[in-house]
Structure 1
Amino acid sequence: MDRAPQTITVEGLTRRFGDFTAVDHVDFCVPQGTMTGFVGGNGAGKTTTMRMIMGVLSITEGRVMWGDQPMTAAHQRSIGYMPEERGLYPKQKVADQLIYLGQLKGLSPKASRESVMTLLERLGLGERTDDTVEALSLGNQQRVQIAAALMIEPAALILDEPFSGLDPDAVDSMADLLREHTARGVPVLFSSHQLDLVDRLCDQLVILAKGQVRATGTPTELRGGSPRRHRLVAVRDAGWVREVPGVVTVDVDGPVAVLDLVSDSETERQRLLGEVLAEGLRRGGITELSPIIPPLSEVYREVTA
């Protein structure tokens, strides 16, 4: 079986439970070597979509493609999958069960042990290999579940809330591991409610609401390209900014002003910034003129409203 990474493409994916449509003709792709954030509220359809990609749930309509081929069970076995619910045996030792799971995935006993020990060390669990899973904190159990998904040198990664319960150090370790995989071409799809984390890590986002895709794109694209709103801090009162043509003054409070550049043209917006700077110099000087970048949470609320 060729384990080379491939782009995962979801086409018209639909899942119905009786009269209820949980996922409604969803389309998106997870390109090779990219990290894609799957964002949506509880009940949006993220977990159901991931389960259909992995063959855990049957597909009502649509299909999943692995490169230019329909996704098969053999392809799914090459994917590192982390489900929403932990699939660990609580009374078994951490290393023993991971080594066993690695063998079920096709690794030799030696290769499985080497992979498991390396990953546990990377995830800060090198001294807990002989502990039972139930003896670990919930955050450390999460790390073990992550190791289970990563240990097979996966051709793709599908991770349902992988950062849930992790402390900041563990988040950084996990992010480094995922970047190592994308660097060798592995497509990564992960869901998360931590929008600031998604914003920091992801090359692209898929925003889901009520079973439908509401928006896709890079964080910059979803924000509408380069920012139009800017913060200005002048040496003196900034009321003069109201006189600059093409600039909408949102607020002025002494030397601080918030302004909008109303043009759709990037070239024109740069010209307007130049005029603001020139006028500011004539009016006593400017100490700051910086873009105001809206948080991803604001974009999310707009597209899912």
Structure 2
Amino acid sequence: MGDARLEIDRVSKRYGDVVALRETTFDVRAGELFGFVGSNGAGKTTTMRIALGVLAADSGEVRWDGTPITLDTRRRIGYMPEERGLYPKMKVGEQLVYLARLHGLSASDAERSMLDWTERLGVDGRRGDDVQNLSLGNQQRVQLAAALVHNPDILVLDEPFSGLDPIAVEVMSKVLLEKAAEGIPVVFSSHQLELVERLCDRVGIIRGGEMVAVGTVDELRSGGAVEMVVDAPRAQPGWTDGIAGVTVRSHDGSRTILELTNGVDDQAVLTAALATGPVHEFSRRRPSLTELYRNVVTQEDKA
């Protein structure tokens, strides 16, 4: 595979008057975990279905290793749909072998892979059960096994962590990290932003069918405004009023969280704080991915 990557290049999709995707562009590199986040209806699932060939784009292109994706390439993608796609009345083991065979594995390789993945994902005791008789968490584990059983070169997972208990989240996280370590590009969507922040090399935020931010969490944090935490016990609300470019995010007792636009001198803020009396804390605050996401979406809503 080398350094092959999955590229989504200026992909657009409309449904009548509704624009589902507008010139959506990002790439997922070899060995990278890419987190795809956005609210419901933002375009995540549509993008993934187009990458898979389930939906046709109106314009733009999806490429793998520099060439447009073909039917043969799609057989090498491991896909986990948000609406789980297992046969409810088919036994777990039989179903996974069947899916592996569909993707080109021999009978013996398919059987071996099924045994391996059901064991690793903790559902080896359920191989003879119908999918419909499993708990939702175990159905989720089997669905991940279905995405992995044919040894894919690319993983595209739509909300793989939804509904999982903490143990299952750790099992799934470990598998995704292992697959990335093997050089496989992994893209997954999730509403659990703390998990995305912990696992992902890079993150893409989509809103209203448009990519509004792409980068590492650190890159996204370093852009835009700076947040400061000031603990000045004698400071009263309004103590920053004379400083241009400073917004009070919250004021709780002696503790004030400020947002400074680029170029504002934080020492001017410190001087103003000291004018009120002693300052016990004065520090820059790095926003979490959850806060970054909220800020991006809020800014876009105001636009």
CA distance in 1, matches of 2:296, 2:113: 38
Q: Deviations over 1:137-191 (max 9, x none)?
A: 1221111111110122221111111111111111111111111111122111111
How many angstroms apart in 1 are the aligned matches of 2:181 and 2:173? 12
How much does 1:47 deviate? 1.3
Structure 1 pair 119/5, CA: closer, same or farther in 2 (3 Å)?
farther
Alignment partner, residue 63 of structure 1? 61
Distance in structure 2 (CA, Å) of the matches to 1:69 and 1:289: 48
Q: Is the 8 A contact 2:3 2:29 kept in 1?
A: no
Query: What is the percent sequence identity of the aligned residues?
Result: 44
Deviation at 1:303, TM superposition (A): 4.8
Separation (CA, whole Å) in 2 of partners of 1:111 and 1:75: 20
SS in 2 for 1:223: helix
CA deviation string 1:271-292 (max 9, x = no partner):
x59x969x98xx8784784625
Q: Aligned pair count?
A: 293
Q: What is the rounded CA distance, in whole Å, between the counterparts of 1:212 and 1:224 in structure 2?
A: 21
Map of 1:45 onto structure 2? 43
The 3 A distance-change label for structure 1 pair 170 and 300 is: farther
Distance in 2 separating the partners of 1:46 and 1:125: 29
What residue is the counterpart of 1:161 in the other structure?
Answer: 159
Matched, 1:293 2:287: yes
Query: 2: CA distance between counterparts of 1:50 and 1:254?
Result: 47
1:301 alignment partner AA: V
Q: 1:16 to 1:110 in 2, by over 3 A?
A: same
SS in 1 for 2:45: helix
Contact 1:220 1:226 (C-alpha < 8 Å) held by counterparts: no
Distance 1:207 1:252 in 2: 29
2:13 alignment partner in structure 1 = 15
Q: 2:102 aligns with which of 76, 94, 104?
A: 104
Cα distance, 1:202–1:248 mapped onto 2, change above 3 Å: same
- Residue of 228, 231, 253 corresponding to 1:230: 228
Distance in 2 of aligned mates of 1:262 and 1:253: 22
Contact 2:204 2:213 in 1 (8 A): yes
CA deviations over 1:35-56 (Å, ceiling 9, x no partner): 1122222222221211111111
Quick one: which amino acid aligns to residue 165 of structure 1? G
Separation in 1, partners of 2:76, 2:125: 29
Post-superposition offset of 1:254: 6.4
Instruction: Answer with 9-18 or 55-64: which moved more.
Output: 9-18
**Alignment CA distance shift 1:290-1:28 (3 Å):** closer
Letter in 2 for 1:291: R
Q: CA RMSD in A?
A: 3.2
Q: Which amino acid aligns with 2:50?
A: M
In structure 2, C-alpha distance between the alignment counterparts of 1:166 and 1:49, rounded to whole Å:
24
Which structure 2 residue ranges, 5 or more long, are not aligned?
A: none
Is 1:34 paired with 2:17? no
Match of 1:86, SS state, is: coil
Is the contact made by 1:227 and 1:292 (CA closer than 8 Å) also made in structure 2?
A: no
> Counterpart in 2 of 1:218?
216
1:188-242 per-residue CA deviation (whole Å, 9 max, x = no partner) reads: 11112222222222222222222222222222222344973232457x7578x97
Q: Secondary structure at the match of 2:78?
A: strand
What is the alpha-carbon distance in structure 2 between the residues aligned to residue 247 and residue 58 of structure 1? 46
Q: Deviations over 1:69-102 (max 9, x none)?
A: 1111111111111122222111111111101211
**Following superposition of structure 1 onto structure 2, how do residues 187-226 of structure 1 map, counting pairs within 5 Å?**
187-225=185-223
The residue that corresponds to 1:143 in the other structure is 141
- For residues 22 and 289 of structure 1, do their structure 2 counterparts lie closer, same or farther at Cα, with a shift above 3 Å needed? closer
What is the DSSP-based 3-state SS (H/G/I as helix, E as strand, rest coil) of the residue aligned with 1:57? Answer: coil
Residues 1:177 and 1:262: Cα distance change in structure 2 (over 3 Å): same
The CA deviation at 1:124 is 2.0
Distance 1:248 1:44 in 2: 31
How far off is 1:253 after superposition? 6.2
- Taking the TM superposition and a 5 Å limit, the aligned residue runs for 1:211-290 are 211-225=209-223, 228-233=226-231, 250=248, 256-259=255-258, 264=263, 272=267, 286=280, 289=283
- CA–CA distance in structure 1, aligned partners of residues 181 and 41 of structure 2: 32
> How many Å separate the matches in 2 of 1:299 and 1:207?
11
Q: SS in structure 2 opposite 1:58?
A: coil
Separation in structure 2 between the aligned mates of residue 32 and residue 205 of structure 1, nearest angstrom: 15
Taking structure 1 as the reference length, what is the TM-score of the superposition? Answer: 0.81
Cα deviation for residue 18 of structure 1 reads 3.8
Q: Which runs of 5+ in 1 are unaligned?
A: none
